[in-house]
Structure 1
């Protein structure tokens, strides 16, 4: 049973390749008899025109077009929607220098520098 299913699946997957295989196997016959451009040898067609027609037939057979679907409109459903919220970066350093309690603010000293601390380089 598995072999039959495997053969069917393999046939379905390789169906678009059959015209190319037929072209390779019957190259002489197609290039001499079935070629539409036999009278124009400078085009070097060699039956490729017949191959293109066969490939077009195979792709049309694979994707059939029905006349009743031409007027329909396809709708897309939105399954979920999440609103993207903008973010705002708040500044960490306040330019407002109000002194709330003078006695408390005089008890310590700090440097308000913009330099980043880098540790000393160890030389051995």
Structure 2
């Protein structure tokens, strides 16, 4: 039970950073009237029909800049570790035969013949 709740909370914490623009958009849609009346830069110029969009775009820009800062900070904290290892070499020792231990093998003569193979497999006849 507790592990499941902790798991959901951790997943929510991880995804919160990814969905920051979604939260900004949802907050803008829910509080659109309040933002247009009190926080909008162009609230005194109703002819522009801004309705808080300037505030929304400013918040989006701030979120993007914050994400860029976080990305730059995480890249600067990243350490590059290079691992170099010398290639493994296999050395084969050449066998050294001493003359006194050298064994002379006799030549093997293959004396078996078969008429059966000669009767079936014949080379093609030339047309010349």
Short-chain TM bin? 0.3 to 0.5
How high is the TM-score relative to the length of structure 1? 0.47
Using the size of structure 2 for normalisation, the TM-score is 0.46
Higher Rg: 2
Q: Larger helix proportion, structure 1 or 2?
A: 2
